[in-house]
Structure 1
Amino acid sequence: MEALRVWRASSNLFGFTASRAARPLRFHTRCCSAAAATAKSPQDRRRRSASSSATTSDRDSIRAIRLKKVEELRGKGYEPYAYKWDRTHTTKELQEEYNHLDNGEVCEEAAVSIAGRIVARRAFGKLVFMTIRDATGTIQLYCEKGSLSEDQFEQLKGFIDIGDILGASGSIKKTEKGELSVYVKQFEILTKSLLPLPDKYVDMIANPEVADVFRTRAKVVSEILKTMESLGFIEVETPVLQVGGIEKVYEIGRIFRNEGISTRHNPEFTTIEGVYH
């Protein structure tokens, strides 16, 4: 099947075995999970374990500070967990549409609105630069004191932390250094993060490459489903060998075996198993 061949050639994430008797025909495919594929060495795990107790108190302190910010924001009449934000573009769409601007050029006629998680932040007096990430990529937010109200600029400097989800609107500017940016005229905190971003090894927020693996896997599974349907197979959620009255059945399952990791296999993987009676 073409989808399976493409999957194997492009990702190297699974091994494929097939066996055929006279009848029934059975096939079996195994795909290592993204979590297992990105597993670190025992030394890395021991180092993280040793440092976890030292960082617990830090995380508690950060959480207490951010909870206080939530209370202060509500005391000022702002809800740090907004229910709605109208977005006009993704970060990728902005990069594609306005990348032609010259360094230092401002596109004042552009009126854009985006939303995403703050993954980087730096302040220089009357300027604050932030990097915002959504599902498609990243873009810089260019926040200038003269373009925001006094209250919003103070909120930006005192209440916005890395990890917060923000909605921002304004025009488009390419900085002198060639960084395409949203020239922010208005923003709103959509979700106030109470903890710092997690370790980059274990979370898709801090490690977008892992998210890419999951997105690729989702596309592969979608293609497998289409291929199996085109061949007349029906997906079931029961042991495939116990289905009667249907000629072609298959099941996709997530498997975990309680055993160690070796260079030859992973204990966590996804299988597709089918029977042709």
Structure 2
Amino acid sequence: MTAVTQAPAPAEAPPSVPPPRRRRPRGARVRRAADVFAVVTALVWFFPLYWMISSALLPNAEFRSSTPTFVNTHPTTEHFAGVLGDDRFWSAMTVSLQVTGVAVLVAVSVAFLAAVAISRFRFRGRKAVIACILVIQMIPAEALFISQYKMLDGWDLLNSVVGLSILYVGLIVPFNIWILKGFVDGVPVELEHAAMIDGCTRVGSFVRITLPLLGPGLVTGAIFATITAWNEYTLALVVMSDGNQTLPLWLQYFSGANQATNWGGIMAGSLLIALPVIALFMTVQTRMAAGLTAGAVKG
């Protein structure tokens, strides 16, 4: 009897399995979402600046159009010519420069001395002084208008650069003390002690060792003081009158009950007012970074 052998059936090929999808790391997705959020935020913050520049260069006929235009196709400099040709603009510029210069110089100097005293010395009533500075910052500025007006009136300083500068110094000093105190606290007092061991006096060790490291803090306080004094409106409105106004008050000449609002002039004037502060910040920003690096190396 002959045995019949059958060839084994060919083995079936296993089903093809697609390669596993490489999952993107969670950190990459978070970074991409953060980048998108940063771009959207930057566009939101940039749009008012773009609108101000575009409106400052927009012809008057376009302002009267019923449909706003987001892209200015016919730029003009007529609004800038009108602003620069206004004598009241240069008068307000002079007052603003004087008030800002005096307020920044006095406020930063007073705040610096107070910050050093609070940070470096332990004296009776120190905590009370710190608490008073904190409470002063919580008081709304509007609550002090009447008392400030009567104070300047009693000193015969209404409608004067000196009077407005005094009010700005009082407005700037409390917050500047907190800013500068943080910088002074960040410089180890042991550096001064080491210099005193090497023969320096207390004042000499502070001037030679600590003061150079406080440059970024002084610049930060000066920038805050400059922006506050340059852009402040309400105090100047209370104590200053026509013919002796700051730049924010000067902008009100472009609108009134008996005239149509000159939006082109307002935008051009606002841009010219903002340019000095922007230029100052861009210039000092590099020095702040250099000062921080130098302070880290010296420390």
TM-score (norm 2): 0.22
Structure richer in strand, relative to its length: 1
TM-score (norm 1): 0.23
Whichever of the two has the greater Rg, that structure is: 2
Structure richer in helix, relative to its length: 2
Greater relative CO (CA pairs within 8 A, separation 6+):
2
